[in-house]
Amino acid sequence: MNESPRNNSPQSIWQNQKVEGIRMPVDEIRRKAGKFHSTILWRNAREYVAALAVVVFFGFQFFLTRDALMRAGYGVMIAGMLYLAWQLHRKGSSRSLPEEMGLASGLEFFRRELERQRDLVQSVWSWYLGPLIPGWVLLTVAMARANPGHLRQIGPVLGVLNLVAALAFVFVWKLNQWAAGKLQRQIDELDTLRER
């Protein structure tokens, strides 16, 4: 009987009401996990095709040139691309949600997949960009050394070429950092669902 009017106010009633946890249905988890699985499959397919194209191109160049340093550069670039594709397959292959999983186990599986892909794109320098640098350096040195003289100012030409390559590397790194942030936001959303 001693309830104050304040405790009966709509705001107080609303704030003190018992809230049931909002749960994401198993079908929604399956849909999201399936969409994520498809996205990763297509990303990997694009990367494999690009790696194959680079390997074929540099392979032809390797057999066309007689310059030993240039051949070494092409060989190291091919090795870097093969390493990149192998790491993508090893660490970034897409895994589909098993059919028999319920809500809790499906949510945990999906979260682990998001974390795995986030960690992969965050470490892009160690497995993707880094392995290409030695081959690029060798090719740059080989081009400078093999200049037949028709390019009087080979330094500025190679400088521009290296600047473009550096900007491309930074762009790929930033794009992967953005993707890692997006994946982290999805992980945070799932954590919020698990806490409710």
Residue 5 and residue 19: Cα distance in Å, rounded? 23
Domain ranges of the chain: 25-195
Buried b or exposed e, range 99-112, using 16+ CB within 10 angstroms: eebebeebbebbbe
Tens of pLDDT, residue by residue, the chain (196 residues): 454 555 666 655 545 555 444 456 778 888 888 999 999 999 999 999 999 999 999 999 999 999 999 999 999 999 999 999 999 999 999 988 777 766 678 888 999 999 999 999 999 999 999 999 999 999 999 988 877 666 667 778 888 999 999 999 999 999 999 999 999 999 998 888 766 5
Closest CA to 131 of 63, 77, 69, 59: 77
Q: What does the DSSP assignment read for 144-159?
A: HHT--SS-TTHHHHHH
Digit-coded pLDDT (tens) for 85-124:
999 999 999 988 777 766 678 888 999 999 999 999 999 9
17, 63, 67, 159 from 71: Cα distances, Å: 73, 8, 6, 21
What global pTM score does this model have? 0.77
